[in-house]
Structure 1
Amino acid sequence: MPIQLVTPPTEEPVSLLEAKLHLRVDFDEDDMLIASLITAARQAAETLTGRQLTTARWKQVLDCFPGPSLMGVPAGQTFTLPGHAILLAKAPVQSVVSINYLDMGSVNQTMPALTYTVDAACEPARITPVFGQIWPICLPQIGAVSVTFDAGYGTASQVPEGIKSWIKLRVGSLYAHREEVAALSRGRIESLPFIDGLLDPYKVVTV
């Protein structure tokens, strides 16, 4: 589903100083390069995990509200992914800023916050109308619904260390091998299989 970055994060989960300590670099000439590699590694980690690391604002665009609008939880089930739930594409979700839609008159409307509920503890986060409410009728047109939300762990200090370790290792690889390919003394490159496993506990599982 289309998702747009509205407000990018204001800090990276790994600082320039932390990256330089990991790289054992004690000069400043490569600071701009290392900073760009941190950003590239962070974006790769976010893509692989489906997460936002430090706080950013996103907009998720839908063609319509999901259905069917069946309320309640089926008997005997303690957790469901109901068909009328909107699932947000980034985790962890901090808050939903707004839900907007085009009504049948092509006028942009904002849903009152009291008419829907957000389960941010679930990953991906779920949004449904509150009990007794249904999704409004929107214009049958592509991109008629949008959800704006803030996602991320918060500040850099709140990002899990496992993700930070992966970013540092990726920065180290990018810094050591600055071209598309690299030739080692033995004529081949061997990846360390445990590296990407550092991200496994943080991958958002979608159904």
Structure 2
Amino acid sequence: MTYSQIAAPAAMPVTLAEAKAHLRVTSDTEDDTITSLIAAATQYLERDTGQSLLDQQWRAYFDAVPRDGVLELMRSPVRGIVAVTIYDSAGNPTELDGSEYYVNLVSRPARVRLVDGVTAPMRANGIEIDFDTGYGEAGTDVPDMLKRAVLVLVAHWFEFRGVFDAADQPVSVPALYARLTRHFRFLSV
């Protein structure tokens, strides 16, 4: 399966003021650097854990329906399904009615199960699921441990920014980051 972001969040989970307070930076000379580190740390955390910190919209692409009919959405937390579209062998789309699939947003990962009788041909990206994800619109909606993980990355990268070339960044991730994010990761068996 493949994912693409359809709509990005309107803000960052950590403000410049919060990051500067965490770093104990009082001047404005580093604002651009800190702002870019917040964006990079947020992007790193979201890709690393599958979490969407602030509200955004994603599209998941599947080639076929699994035997059990369950399509898992490996982003979290999923707040709602926007559309489920199936393409026939000629590439013509059909958007499914809400009665043609069941949704379990409580499970992790969230699951979409097509009702019996709804089929999709084996086709590259033949099934698309558009869904809303995120903890809310503002950084105050994001769990504190995830915000802290962003701040830990920002501080670590800020501290070591001159030691390695820009092309080599991020050069390392502190152990505290892994401890803060471990409960938010998808478990694999």
TM more than 0.5:
yes
Structure 1 gaps of 5+ residues are: 68-82, 183-189
- The higher radius of gyration belongs to 1
Residues 163 and 137 (structure 1), Cα distance of their counterparts in 2 relative to 1, 3 Å cut? closer
Q: Which residue of 2 aligns with 1:59?
A: 59
- What is the CA–CA distance in structure 2 between the aligned matches of 1:195 and 1:203, rounded to whole Å? 12
- What is the CA–CA distance in structure 1 between the aligned matches of 2:103 and 2:3, rounded to whole Å? 18
Q: Which residue of 2 aligns with 1:163?
A: 146
Q: Which residue of 2 aligns with 1:136?
A: 119
Residue 2 of structure 1 aligns with an amino acid whose one-letter code is: T
Structure 2 gaps of 5+ residues are: 166-171
SS of 1:168 mapped into structure 2: helix
- CA contact 2:23–2:155 (8 Å) conserved in 1: yes
- What is the CA–CA distance in structure 2 between the aligned matches of 1:64 and 1:5, rounded to whole Å? 21
Residues 116 and 36 (structure 1), Cα distance of their counterparts in 2 relative to 1, 3 Å cut? same
**Where in structure 2 are the equivalents of 1:1-207 lying within 5 Å?**
1-67=1-67, 83-130=68-115, 133-138=116-121, 140-155=122-137, 156-179=139-162, 181=164, 193-207=175-189
- What is the CA–CA distance in structure 1 between the aligned matches of 2:161 and 2:130, rounded to whole Å? 37
SS of 1:40 mapped into structure 2: helix
- CA contact 2:153–2:174 (8 Å) conserved in 1: no
SS of 2:175 mapped into structure 1: coil
- What is the CA–CA distance in structure 2 between the aligned matches of 1:151 and 1:116, rounded to whole Å? 19
Residues 55 and 25 (structure 1), Cα distance of their counterparts in 2 relative to 1, 3 Å cut? same
- What is the CA–CA distance in structure 1 between the aligned matches of 2:153 and 2:120, rounded to whole Å? 46
- CA contact 2:79–2:133 (8 Å) conserved in 1: yes
Q: CA deviation at 1:179?
A: 4.1
- CA contact 1:51–1:204 (8 Å) conserved in 2: no
SS of 1:64 mapped into structure 2: coil
TM-score (norm 1): 0.80
More strand by share: 2
Q: CA deviation at 1:180?
A: 6.0
Q: What number of residue pairs does the alignment pair up?
A: 182
More helix by share: 2
SS of 1:201 mapped into structure 2: helix
Residues 200 and 107 (structure 1), Cα distance of their counterparts in 2 relative to 1, 3 Å cut? same
